[in-house]
Structure 1
Amino acid sequence: MIQRFLLRDLEMALEDAPAVVMLGPRQVGKTTLAHQLTGQPPPVYLDLESEGDRARLQEPELYLEPLEGSLVVLDEIQRMPDLFQSLRGLIDRGRGRGRRTGRFLLLGSASLDLLRQSSESLAGRITQLELTPITGLEAGVEHLDSLWVRGGFPDSLLARDERASTRWRQSFIRTYLERDIPQLGPRIPAETLRRFWTMLAHQQGAVLNAAPIARALGVTGKTVASYLDLMVDLLLLRRLQPWHRNVGKRLVKSPKVYVRDSGLVHSLLGIPDLDGLLGHPIAGMTWEGLVIESLIACVPRDWEPAFYRTSAGAEIDLVLVPPGAAPWAIEVKRSASPRLERGFHSACDDIAPAQRFVVYPGRERFPLPGGAEAIDLVTLCGILRAQAAGGH
């Protein structure tokens, strides 16, 4: 069992708010984490994909009000979005009787609509968390290669061998395309969406250019944008926005797009194992994606992640911006002897970062020219996690 650091965040959020919504793609471990919560009386768990549990909530206030003394976990909450109004009334009445925190934990697999509905209906009553696939910090230095190849979904990472891991990821992709996405409403042919997903895997970490993707799929640019919105909403793709501060430079304005789990990239591209990955041209970009996802999962929630690129070639892979403070500049290298290009130094001259790090696959920490420091992923994740714990 890999311990998820979000468990402590979840416990603290439930101590502070009447309701917490925890988002994450299917099979990422939300239900497992919820079952690790304890209390007296024990939490009550309802799976809204179960017909029996949905039937219990046909009159939600009648069923839930007697459970005021328990934490109620509602899994796959996007299946019953009308519940939010009922939860609001229950929370407000409970406050009047002295129950102010820890009433409801809502688990969801799709983000944008759910966040909008929960924030509108439960404004001032809800805290939001995201459970990502397992990060570099959680896997540890000794398991980073397995995490890189297999990705961070627990059943894939912890599979008995590479073949079992590959089978799990292939099944995961097929289930999303053939069952989960149609359940959300969009009528998109599964093969079209698979081709779109695979195209983005081939272009992992590239600045989005929708026109050639639209031509290849035989659809409009607007349709490509809707596909992208859907996959971002399902927490399967990351749209990393460019950092736009007035530095007097011509900046790239389109986002970079990453398939958020490296193991899914490798399955979409037919890469079976570490040997196959090390010889593949996508290797550097899937390592970059793993690093970026792990770091963003560890930063304080009020920090802004972005990238920086100018038309003249100045570039920083990841810029982490604390509120009201100078940014951190992070470059990612898949080399045991990382070297920084002139573009990184030029970009640092533009934005004057407070910290400059180069994440590489070694274990030693050492200085580099220009004030940067080479560092391993787990150590930098720990530094950022300490920033989050300290409230900075």
Structure 2
Amino acid sequence: MPALFDWPYIPRELEAPLSAPGPAGRAEVIIGPRQVGKSTMLQKLVEGRRHIILTGEDEDDLAILSDPKSYLKLTEEYPYLIIDEAQFIPGIGRVIKRIVDNNRSGSRIFVTGSSSLDLAGGLKESAAGRFNSYELWPFSLRELARRTSWIEVKRSMNERLIYGSMPAVVNDPRHAEEYLLDISDAVLYKDIFKLAEMRRPTELTKLVKYLAYNIGSEVKYGTMASELGIQNKTIERYIDLLEACCILRVVPSLSRNPQSEIKLGKKIYFYDNGIRNALIRNFSPLPARTDSGALWENLFFTERLKLHAVRRDGTEIFFWRTRAQHEVDFLEVQNGKVAAFECKSSPKTKTTSIRAFERAYPDTPVTIATPGNVDELFD
């Protein structure tokens, strides 16, 4: 096991709900991209307490987790049990079900996975009702502001837009480019290659780079299939895998008026700006870029996802576009209520698109989101 912390620890918002005693008969499942700090957060959580950590990437640990006589004794011996990289454990759903059902000592059980591909599927099939699910993302601006201040966060917005918020980047900015290039080359697709039958990895990498160049733009699978020479169904499968493995997110369009609003459109965003920029090999400063607006849009979207992930409030995020080409970047829908956001690099007067949206949805004003008001948007 590596050293607990290589840098001063930055507290995560997810610690509060994970530290609180949960309902009996449940495990705590944390899903998130690789290297966002899932293991570090849990090691901090159990620091100074009797615990055991098993990982799906260790052969000896896999042997324990494949033998009920071995793993059912764990909760008798350890008040805290952590199963890391659980997506690589065969039959993980059945394992968790048995451990939870035989947990008579009330031990806390934590399960992490960098992919929901097998992990969530196996759990839903075999361990329904026996786990609480959480998401951990790269550092949020809220977490960084609590460590320093919102003033400091605003000062470093250019760095977040270019290099993102992965823990290694925030803690060691001098080596940010080197780290991001390494993870994009060696780690990013690890789960997909290991868990799925990937006969043509070059197709996947070609698709990912195409999507990276088109963040914030409406994409159509048929058009991509034609331009990339990849079958439409293959593109759909790859995008599903990339989303399941916490590499990107698909944003659908919201349509409540089929006569005027598109309903099949999709936009693609990456879970971290730095990873996206590494994929296209471009860490140029903002003044030299043509995609600064798309970078702010990507960052805003992921920050809203982080916010709702901590709240676990079930909010869904869409974009809005009409056949007349009016568009609003993001609509958040929670319990039938809609909140609208338009991303701008600086405050501006209302555009024709915003006026068109407010005519169609008079009870939903549009919030202008800029890097200068991140404290109002996320605090």
TM-score (norm 1): 0.84
Among 278, 302, 315, the residue aligned to 1:303: 315
Task: Map 1:6-155 onto structure 2 (within 5 A).
Answer: 6-12=14-20, 14=22, 18-38=26-46, 41-68=49-76, 70-94=79-103, 97=104, 99=106, 103-140=108-145, 141=150, 142=152, 143-155=156-168
Cα deviation, 1:225-252, whole Å, max 9, x if unaligned, reads 1111111111111101212334763324
> For residue 327 of structure 2, what is the amino acid of its counterpart?
E
Gaps of 5+ in 2: 1-8
Alpha-carbon distance, 1:188 to partner: 4.1
Cα deviation, 1:311-330, whole Å, max 9, x if unaligned, reads 12332211111214x21111
Alpha-carbon distance, 1:264 to partner: 1.5
Instruction: Name the CA distance, whole Å, in 2 between partners of 1:160 and 1:269.
Output: 19
C-alpha contact 1:152 1:261 (8 A) present in aligned 2: yes
Indicate the SS of the match to 2:30: strand
> Are residues 247 and 380 of structure 1, via their aligned partners in 2, closer, same or farther at CA, if it must alter by over 3 Å?
farther
Match of 1:351 in 2: 361
> Are residues 124 and 259 of structure 1, via their aligned partners in 2, closer, same or farther at CA, if it must alter by over 3 Å?
same
Alpha-carbon distance, 1:168 to partner: 0.8
Match of 1:2 in 2: 10
Task: Map 1:218-233 onto structure 2 (within 5 A).
Answer: 218-233=229-244
Instruction: Name the CA distance, whole Å, in 1 between partners of 2:301 and 2:188.
Output: 25
> Are residues 13 and 215 of structure 1, via their aligned partners in 2, closer, same or farther at CA, if it must alter by over 3 Å?
farther
Instruction: Name the CA distance, whole Å, in 2 between partners of 1:207 and 1:311.
Output: 13
Alpha-carbon distance, 1:8 to partner: 1.3
Instruction: Name the CA distance, whole Å, in 1 between partners of 2:60 and 2:256.
Output: 52
> For residue 87 of structure 1, what is the amino acid of its counterpart?
I
Instruction: Name the CA distance, whole Å, in 2 between partners of 1:93 and 1:272.
Output: 51
Match of 1:314 in 2: 326
Instruction: Name the CA distance, whole Å, in 2 between partners of 1:317 and 1:16.
Output: 41
Match of 2:169 in 1: 156
Instruction: Name the CA distance, whole Å, in 2 between partners of 1:16 and 1:354.
Output: 41
> Are residues 209 and 248 of structure 1, via their aligned partners in 2, closer, same or farther at CA, if it must alter by over 3 Å?
closer
Among 231, 242, 246, the residue aligned to 1:235: 246
> For residue 268 of structure 2, what is the amino acid of its counterpart?
V
> Are residues 16 and 345 of structure 1, via their aligned partners in 2, closer, same or farther at CA, if it must alter by over 3 Å?
farther
> For residue 79 of structure 1, what is the amino acid of its counterpart?
F
C-alpha contact 2:29 2:133 (8 A) present in aligned 1: yes
> Are residues 16 and 56 of structure 1, via their aligned partners in 2, closer, same or farther at CA, if it must alter by over 3 Å?
closer
Paired-residue identity, %:
27
Instruction: Name the CA distance, whole Å, in 1 between partners of 2:378 and 2:222.
Output: 36
C-alpha contact 2:216 2:267 (8 A) present in aligned 1: yes
Gaps of 5+ in 1: 363-375, 383-392
Indicate the SS of the match to 2:332: strand
Instruction: Name the CA distance, whole Å, in 1 between partners of 2:247 and 2:144.
Output: 20
> Are residues 352 and 297 of structure 1, via their aligned partners in 2, closer, same or farther at CA, if it must alter by over 3 Å?
farther
Match of 1:385 in 2: none
Aligned-residue Cα RMSD (Å) equals 2.3
Alpha-carbon distance, 1:146 to partner: 1.7
C-alpha contact 2:52 2:81 (8 A) present in aligned 1: yes
Instruction: Name the CA distance, whole Å, in 1 between partners of 2:262 and 2:25.
Output: 40
Alpha-carbon distance, 1:77 to partner: 0.5
Indicate the SS of the match to 1:272: coil
> Are residues 196 and 153 of structure 1, via their aligned partners in 2, closer, same or farther at CA, if it must alter by over 3 Å?
same
Task: Map 1:208-357 onto structure 2 (within 5 A).
Answer: 208-246=219-257, 249-273=260-284, 275=285, 277-299=286-308, 300-301=311-312, 302-324=314-336, 326-335=337-346, 337-354=347-364, 356-357=366-367
Indicate the SS of the match to 1:327: strand
> Are residues 269 and 61 of structure 1, via their aligned partners in 2, closer, same or farther at CA, if it must alter by over 3 Å?
same
Is 2:170 the counterpart of 1:165? no
> For residue 137 of structure 1, what is the amino acid of its counterpart?
R
Is 2:353 the counterpart of 1:377? no
Indicate the SS of the match to 2:133: strand
Instruction: Name the CA distance, whole Å, in 2 between partners of 1:169 and 1:39.
Output: 29
C-alpha contact 2:344 2:368 (8 A) present in aligned 1: yes
Alpha-carbon distance, 1:281 to partner: 1.4
Instruction: Name the CA distance, whole Å, in 1 between partners of 2:24 and 2:296.
Output: 36
> For residue 303 of structure 2, what is the amino acid of its counterpart?
S
Alpha-carbon distance, 1:170 to partner: 1.0
TM-score (norm 2): 0.87
> For residue 380 of structure 1, what is the amino acid of its counterpart?
L
Instruction: Name the CA distance, whole Å, in 2 between partners of 1:178 and 1:127.
Output: 26
Alpha-carbon distance, 1:41 to partner: 4.7
Alpha-carbon distance, 1:48 to partner: 1.5
Instruction: Name the CA distance, whole Å, in 1 between partners of 2:256 and 2:69.
Output: 48
Indicate the SS of the match to 1:36: helix
Alpha-carbon distance, 1:377 to partner: 1.9
